[in-house]
Amino acid sequence: MVSSSHEAMHRIFQDHPTLFSRVSDALGLRLPPPVAVSVLPNDVTETEPIERRIDTLLRIETRHDGPFLLAIEAQRKKDPEKSVSWSYYLAYLRSKYRLPPLLLVVCQDHATAEWAARPEPIGFCSWPSLTVRPIVAGPHNMPVITEPDQVREDFALAALAAIVHGTSPDIEGILKAMSTALMDEPEAVGTPFVELIFRGLGKLPAAEIWSKLVVVDLDFYQSDFMKKALAKARAEGLAQADAEVRAQARAEVRAQARAEVRAEVRAESEARQAAKDVLAVLDKRGIDVPQEAREHITHCTDPETLHTWLLRAVTATSLDEVLE
């Protein structure tokens, strides 16, 4: 299943097609500046029943060097099969559009970024017929933006940087700068970035920080409630001024949102602890837990499932007995 984080890492380029120009500058790449960008269909399926889809595909026009294609892939973890898919994408795009293609891979962790950045030669023995060499944007080379003024210079770049640095020690300062900068922006500008960062952070602990900042700094959840409160006040002929109604609605929404955030944080914290308990019992009993299974347990958020696994872990003789 495609995660919201995966979607956010590449869809931001669809919403802000010129973003790649600033990303390439931030990464120190010397590429010609675009004069036009258009979003192309991302379906590269063959006539055979094999479906292949690039996350996002852009056609970028430049003033002096002509157009080129930019294929953008959001990569959450290492995947040996991806080099095969990426080589197919690049060859297919070159053949179909007769334009030079580039591949940009967006990552959220250093290990995946280092893996993705390695050139992948395709050929026989020492003669590579094709070498896949993606541009990689990740926490190792994307800017750490912790000043609101820097955010205001380029909201799209700052939002992508916040998503990419989701596990960075500086993430709280990054998100605080983002929320502070968005406070002065109209809702039509701020709301898409708020939602995009929510999706991009996914289930990372940084999502909890963003939730709290959104509630305290941005009153993100107040819009619909505010409109209903004002309409009711006017319909009933109440004497309160709009400002008073807004203040009351804001207080109620903040209280409600804080309660929801606390409940979500508490539930996620309990789930993480339950997952740790399951792994601790399995480790204590000497049952081997491969990395994939360990991640499966760690990412589980259903209390009943975790409780069942914990009970099974006490007596099970294999990992399959626990997870079946």
Q: What is the pLDDT of residues 162-205, one digit of tens each?
A: 999 999 989 999 999 998 898 888 878 888 888 889 888 888 88
> Where does the pLDDT of residue 4 fall: very low under 50, low under 70, confident under 90, or very high at 90 and above?
confident
Cα 215 to Cα 221: distance, rounded to the nearest angstrom: 7
Domain match, 162 and 79 both: no
Domain match, 16 and 133 both: yes
Domain match, 54 and 172 both: no
Q: In this predicted structure, what is the pLDDT of residue 48?
A: 59
Domain match, 36 and 161 both: no
Domain match, 107 and 154 both: no
Number of Cβ atoms within 10 Å of the Cβ of 286: 6
Could you give the number of structural domains in the chain? 3
Cα 274 to Cα 293: distance, rounded to the nearest angstrom: 15
Would 223 be classed as within a structural domain?
no
Final residue in a domain of this structure, among 96, 116, 137: 137
**What domain range is 37 assigned to?**
4-137
Query: What would the mean pLDDT of 149-173 be, rounded to a whole number?
Result: 92
Q: Which residue has the higher pLDDT, 179 or 31?
A: 179
Please give, one letter per residue, the 3-state secondary structure of the chain. Answer: CCCHHHHHHHHHHHHCCCHHHHHHHHCCCCCCCEEEEEECCCECCCCCCCCCECCEEEEEEECCCCCEEEEEEEECCCCCCHHHHHHHHHHHHHHHHCCCEEEEEEECCHHHHHHHHCCEEEEECCEEEEEECCEEECCCCCCCCCCHHHHHHCHHHHHHHHHHCCCCCCHHHHHHHHHHHHCCCCHHHHHHHHHHHHHHHCCCCHHHHHHHHHHHHHCHHHHHHHHHHHHHHHHCCCCCCHHHHHHHHHHHHHHHHHHHHHHHHHHHHHHHHHHHHHHHHHHHCCCCCCHHHHHHHHCCCCHHHHHHHHHHHHHCCCHHHHHC
Cα 86 to Cα 81: distance, rounded to the nearest angstrom: 9
Domain match, 9 and 132 both: yes
- pLDDT tens-digit readout, 109-137: 999 999 999 888 887 767 788 888 999 99
Would 72 be classed as within a structural domain?
yes
Domain match, 116 and 28 both: yes
Q: Which residues pair with 53 in a beta bridge?
A: 43
Q: In this predicted structure, what is the pLDDT of residue 101?
A: 93
Final residue in a domain of this structure, among 89, 115, 137: 137
Cα 292 to Cα 44: distance, rounded to the nearest angstrom: 30
Please name which of 5, 1, 2 lies closest in space to residue 197, comparing C-alpha atoms.
5
* Contact by Cβ (8 Å): 113, 136: yes
> Where does the pLDDT of residue 158 fall: very low under 50, low under 70, confident under 90, or very high at 90 and above?
very high
- Give residues with Cβ within 8 angstroms of 250, minimum separation 6: 219, 222, 226
Number of Cβ atoms within 10 Å of the Cβ of 299: 11
Polymer length in residues for the chain:
324
- pLDDT tens-digit readout, 240-281: 455 555 556 556 655 665 666 666 667 777 888 888 888 888
pTM to 2 decimals? 0.59
